[in-house]
Structure 1
Amino acid sequence: MRGGLHAIWMSCFLAGCGTPPPSEVVRVDGSSTAYPLMEAVAEEYMRTQSGKVRVTVGVSGTGGGFKKFCRGDIDIAAASRPIAKEEAARCAAAGVAYVTLPVAYDAITVVVHPKNTWAEELSVAQLRRLWQPEAQGALLRWNQLDPAFPDRPIHLYGAGADSGTFDYFTEAVVGRPRSSRGDYTASEDDNLLVTGVAGDVGALGFFGFAYYEENAHRLKAVRIRQDADAAAVSPSRESVMQGRYRPLSRQLLLYVNTQHAQARPQIANWVHFALKQAQPLIDEVRNIPLEAAAYEHAFRRFDAALAALGATEVVAAQPTAKVGTVDVR
Structure 2
Amino acid sequence: MTDKPTRGISRRRFLTGTGAAGAIALAGCTEGPSGSGDGGGSGNGGSSGSGSSGLSGEITITGSSTVYPVAVAVANRFQQEHDGVDISVSPTGSGGGFSNHFCVGNAEFNNASRPIKSEEEELCSENGIEYHEINVATDALTVIVNNENDWVDCMTPDQLRQIWRADGASQWSDVDSSWPDQPINRFGAADTSGTFDYFNEAILGEEANHTSDYEATEQDNIILQGVQQDQYGIGYFGFAYYQGNTDSVKALGIDDGSGCVKPSLQTAKEGSYQPLSRPLFTYPRKSALAEEHVAEFARYYVEQSANSSLIADEIGYVPKTQETMQSELDALNSVIDEVQ
Cα–Cα, structure 1 residues 261 and 212, in superposed 2: closer, same or farther, change >3 Å? Answer: same
Tell me which of 84, 90, 93 is aligned to 1:58: 90
Deviations 1:12-64 (A, max 9, x none): xxxxx9xx99x700111100001111111111111111x21110001100001
- Equivalent runs, 1:259-298 vs 2, <5 Å: 259-262=287-290, 264-278=291-305, 279=307, 280-282=309-311, 283-298=313-328
Deviations 1:101-159 (A, max 9, x none): 00011111000011111110000011111111212xxx221111101212222111100
Amino acid at match of 2:155: L
2:208 and 2:245 mapped to 1: Cα distance? 27
Amino acid at match of 2:185: H
Tell me which of 74, 80, 85 is aligned to 1:47: 80
- Equivalent runs, 1:229-248 vs 2, <5 Å: 230-248=258-276
- Number of equivalent positions: 294
2:102 aligned residue: 69
2:187 aligned residue: 157
Residue 97 of structure 1 aligns to a residue whose secondary structure is: coil
Shift of 1:71: 0.4
1:199 aligned residue: 229
Amino acid at match of 1:91: C
Say whether 1:216 aligns with 2:246: yes
Amino acid at match of 1:121: C
TM-score under structure 2 length normalisation: 0.83
- Equivalent runs, 1:172-187 vs 2, <5 Å: 172-176=202-206, 179-187=209-217
Residue 56 of structure 1 aligns to a residue whose secondary structure is: strand
Deviations 1:64-94 (A, max 9, x none): 1111110010000000000000100111111
Unaligned regions of 5+ residues in structure 1, if any? 10-16, 312-329
2:166 and 2:231 mapped to 1: Cα distance? 24
Q: Radius of gyration: which is bigger?
A: 1
Unaligned regions of 5+ residues in structure 2, if any? 1-11, 15-22, 32-50
1:323 aligned residue: none
Cα–Cα, structure 1 residues 178 and 289, in superposed 2: closer, same or farther, change >3 Å? Answer: farther
Deviations 1:221-257 (A, max 9, x none): 0000113xx2111000110110111111111101110
- Equivalent runs, 1:113-152 vs 2, <5 Å: 113-135=146-168, 139-152=169-182
Tell me which of 32, 49, 53 is aligned to 2:65: 32
RMSD over aligned CA atoms reads 2.1
TM-score under structure 1 length normalisation: 0.85
Shift of 1:177: 9.6
1:286 and 1:134 mapped to 2: Cα distance? 34
2:211 and 2:310 mapped to 1: Cα distance? 36
Deviations 1:238-287 (A, max 9, x none): 1011011111111110111011111x111111111112223232121122
Cα–Cα, structure 1 residues 178 and 252, in superposed 2: closer, same or farther, change >3 Å? Answer: farther
Amino acid at match of 1:292: Q
1:177 and 1:188 mapped to 2: Cα distance? 25
Tell me which of 14, 28, 46 is aligned to 1:6: 28
Amino acid at match of 1:55: I
1:131 and 1:178 mapped to 2: Cα distance? 9
Residue 129 of structure 1 aligns to a residue whose secondary structure is: helix
Question: Is the Cα contact below 8 Å between 1:168 and 1:177 reproduced in 2?
Answer: no
2:42 aligned residue: none
Residue 200 of structure 1 aligns to a residue whose secondary structure is: coil
2:200 aligned residue: 170
1:234 and 1:109 mapped to 2: Cα distance? 9
